């Protein structure tokens, strides 16, 4: 019996392992863009043209030019450099909070889907309650109350992002639980935890991957919205969101200060959503 039954693409074993098949599964442009961004963010200290807090006092409030690709801010810091360093914070928050959401979501969803009955009802009611509270206002209040460090911010965003994942995983687990290999395992006396870990979780991995990809985009949007209102990442640490916060008042005189960071938020989240959408479509088509 193939342990991957139905969960991954049904192309033959041989082509599954070739690079072409691997690459063909992912939409080219968004994936390349995301990888390039991740690389640039990781290597920011090496790639950036200026030091992150370097001041070019002769070129303050300068429009984009050859020496300063994205222009400079009011104290002469190069915007392109700041955007690169801001990418580190924003991407880190997006990725790690998505991981946190994924873990919580998988645990809650799998428990609800597998246990059924009152455990399921209880967990789903709790999930509904969490979804009823508007997320951004709640996060903003929590951040205003707690004045979080970047780490705590990641935890906050992660703790409010698991609900969608939980729902998806729950319905996946419910459908997998009805499959033959699960009842076969149960009939030979496998314990519930073994069935969950060895059989069910691997089968829901693809859905979890899609959910995580979308959660990254959501996390980035949430963090930047919070920073935009001044309750997220605090200056001088640069994040795309708080760069917009500082650029608000000068949008008409120095538009580049707001346009570029926001454009990066947009493009990053767009790539995440395109990737997630493509992954989920591939899953659905391989299942029919």
Question: Which residues in this chain contact other proteins in the complex, by CB under 8 A?
Answer: 125-126, 128-138, 140-142, 144-146, 217, 221, 224-225, 228-231, 244, 248, 251-252, 255, 258-259, 261-263, 265-266, 269-270, 272-274, 277
Identity of the residue, 5 or 283, whose beta carbon is nearer to other proteins in the bound complex? 283
Distance from C-alpha of 213 to C-alpha of 192, rounded to nearest angstrom: 29
Distance from C-alpha of 111 to C-alpha of 101, rounded to nearest angstrom: 15
Q: How far is the CB of 54 from other proteins (least distance, A)?
A: 26
Identity of the residue, 163 or 182, whose beta carbon is nearer to other proteins in the bound complex? 163
Instruction: Name beta bridge partners: 72.
Output: 78
Identity of the residue, 32 or 146, whose beta carbon is nearer to other proteins in the bound complex? 146
Q: How far is the CB of 214 from other proteins (least distance, A)?
A: 10
Q: How far is the CB of 145 from other proteins (least distance, A)?
A: 5
Q: How far is the CB of 82 from other proteins (least distance, A)?
A: 16
Nearest to 108 by CA among 172, 179, 151: 172
In SS3 terms, 227-244 reads as: HHCCCCCCCCCCCHHHHH
Identity of the residue, 53 or 128, whose beta carbon is nearer to other proteins in the bound complex? 128
Query: Got the DSSP string for 88-138?
Result: HHHHHHHHHHHHHHHHHHHHHHHHHHHH-HHHHHHHHHHHHHHHHS-HHHH
Identity of the residue, 200 or 243, whose beta carbon is nearer to other proteins in the bound complex? 243
Separation in Å, CA 38 to CA 24, 86, 150, 208 = 21, 12, 18, 21
DSSP label at residue 275: H
Identity of the residue, 36 or 47, whose beta carbon is nearer to other proteins in the bound complex? 36
Q: How far is the CB of 156 from other proteins (least distance, A)?
A: 11
Q: How far is the CB of 4 from other proteins (least distance, A)?
A: 26
Strand ranges (E), the chain: none
């Amino acid at each position: 019996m193939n342990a991957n039954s139905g969960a991954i693409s049904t192309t033959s074993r041989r082509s599954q392992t070739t690079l072409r098949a691997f690459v063909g599964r992912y939409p080219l442009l968004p994936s390349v863009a995301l990888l390039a961004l991740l690389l640039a963010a990781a290597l920011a200290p090496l790639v950036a043209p200026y030091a992150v807090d370097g001041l070019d006092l002769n070129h303050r409030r300068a429009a984009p030019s050859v020496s300063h690709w994205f222009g400079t801010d009011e104290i002469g810091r190069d915007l392109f450099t700041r955007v690169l360093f801001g990418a580190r914070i924003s991407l880190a928050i997006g990725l790690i909070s998505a991981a946190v959401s994924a873990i919580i979501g998988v645990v809650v969803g799998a428990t609800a889907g597998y246990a059924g009955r009152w455990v399921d009802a209880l967990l789903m009611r709790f999930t509904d309650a969490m979804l009823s509270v508007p997320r951004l206002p709640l996060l903003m209040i929590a951040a205003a109350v707690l004045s979080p460090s970047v780490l705590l911010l990641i935890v906050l965003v992660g703790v409010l992002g698991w609900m969608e994942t939980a729902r998806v995983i729950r319905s996946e687990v419910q459908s997998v639980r009805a499959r033959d290999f699960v009842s076969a395992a149960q009939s030979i006396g496998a314990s519930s935890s073994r069935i969950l870990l060895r059989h069910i979780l691997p089968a829901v991995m693809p859905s979890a991957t899609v959910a995580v990809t979308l959660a990254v985009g959501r996390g980035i949007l949430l963090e930047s919205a919070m920073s935009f209102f001044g309750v997220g990442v605090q200056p001088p640490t640069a994040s795309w969101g708080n760069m917009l916060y500082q650029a608000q008042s000068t949008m008409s005189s120095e538009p580049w200060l707001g346009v570029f960071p926001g454009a990066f938020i947009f493009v990053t989240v767009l790539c995440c959503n395109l990737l997630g959408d493509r992954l989920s479509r591939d899953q659905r088509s391989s299942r029919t």
